[in-house]
Structure 1
Amino acid sequence: VRQYRYAAAQPMLEVPAGKIEHDGENPAECAHRELEEETGFSSDDIQPLGYVYTSPGFCNERIYLYLAKNLKKGHQHLDEDEFMNLEYYTPEEVEQLIDKNEIVDAKTIANFQKARKYLF
């Protein structure tokens, strides 16, 4: 999805992502929910790819990474303050966008790197 990021003062191309919304929600449930909310797609085939720490020098935030396959089209369910555009790329195109610094979001780059062996 492409969305404007105020902290970076620019629109950024990113994988769908979000926060665990309540204490009982696990990372896989969050991944399913955020995929549908942000993209309108759902999947019964979401593969865990591990996790990364965002900035272990000063915080313990952990981001869980997933690869969703066999997508089924539905409808986006964005929050009132969310504005996102869906964009579609081949794995080769994503690699080029990363190389050209057109994708600079760390979680997206990490997720793509972890998913590469399943994409090529």
Structure 2
Amino acid sequence: MRDRRGFDARDGGILATARGSDPPEIETIHSTGFGDWLRIDTQDVRLSATKHMVAHVVHFPRIALVVALDRDDLVLIRQFRFPARSWLIEVPAGRVEEHEDPASAARRELREETGYLAGHLEPVGQIRISPHLSDEVTHMYLATDLRLGAPAREEGELIQRVVVGQNRVRSMVDAGKIVDAKTIAALSIIGII
């Protein structure tokens, strides 16, 4: 039997945790760091008075993402992604440093990756790409009033600037030329696709 919010009452006690406003008790059992980018925690999650489960959480830095519009054109990047072993077309994005404001990171990433400077930067929201696995939060911004300068890419970044008409973006997604989830989400939220 489901309650009015769709929870199944036959879940053996887990429903009580799902209904409550307080999160379940979580204790980190083991933590393994991998450089300054990520850490994986093994956690004991108390679901009810008698039920526990083990969860693995990837702690990843916050990300700042920029949808940059130069009049009717969209500024993208083509970047070689080592885990995917392929070139992907994406919006500019990158890590927010520990004590950095996400808007500052967005401006920095746009300049570093494309060479463009934003005269106007507007926050458009936040997304979580993989909340089943990671605590990563992506802060999204819309950049307009752009001026072109020189990019300042980090060592090891294989990036090319790509400028396309906004009217071509939907067909690029449909054709599988843009497959990056954060890019598609941001373009959808802003209304480009």
Residues of 2 paired with 1:50 and 1:19: CA distance? Answer: 16
Paired residue for 1:48? 123
Matched, 1:74 2:149: yes
Uncovered stretches (5+) of structure 2, i.e. residues with no partner: 1-76
1:101 & 1:59 partners in 2: Cα distance?
Answer: 25
Cα deviation, 1:55-81, whole Å, max 9, x if unaligned, reads 111211011111111101111000111
Higher strand share: 2
Alignment of 1:12-91 (within 5 A): 12-21=88-97, 23-91=98-166
Cα distance, 1:99 vs structure 2: 1.0
Larger radius of gyration: 2
Q: Distance in 2 between matches of 1:24 and 1:7?
A: 27
Following superposition, the deviation at residue 100 of structure 1 comes to 1.1
Give the whole-Å Cα distance in 2 for the aligned partners of 1:105 and 1:25: 25
Matched, 1:109 2:184: yes
- Aligned-pair identity in percent equals 37
* RMSD over aligned Cα atoms: 1.3
Counterpart-to-counterpart distance in 2, 1:66 and 1:113: 13
**RCO comparison, higher one (Cα < 8 Å, 6+):** 1
List gaps (5 residues or longer) in structure 1.
none
The residue type equivalent to 1:37 in the other structure is: E
Per the TM alignment, residue 26 of structure 1 is displaced from its structure 2 partner at its CA by 1.1
Larger proportion of helix: 1
Taking structure 2 as the reference length, the TM-score comes to: 0.58
Q: CA deviation at 1:24?
A: 2.1
Q: Paired residue for 1:9?
A: 85
How much does 1:114 deviate?
Answer: 1.4
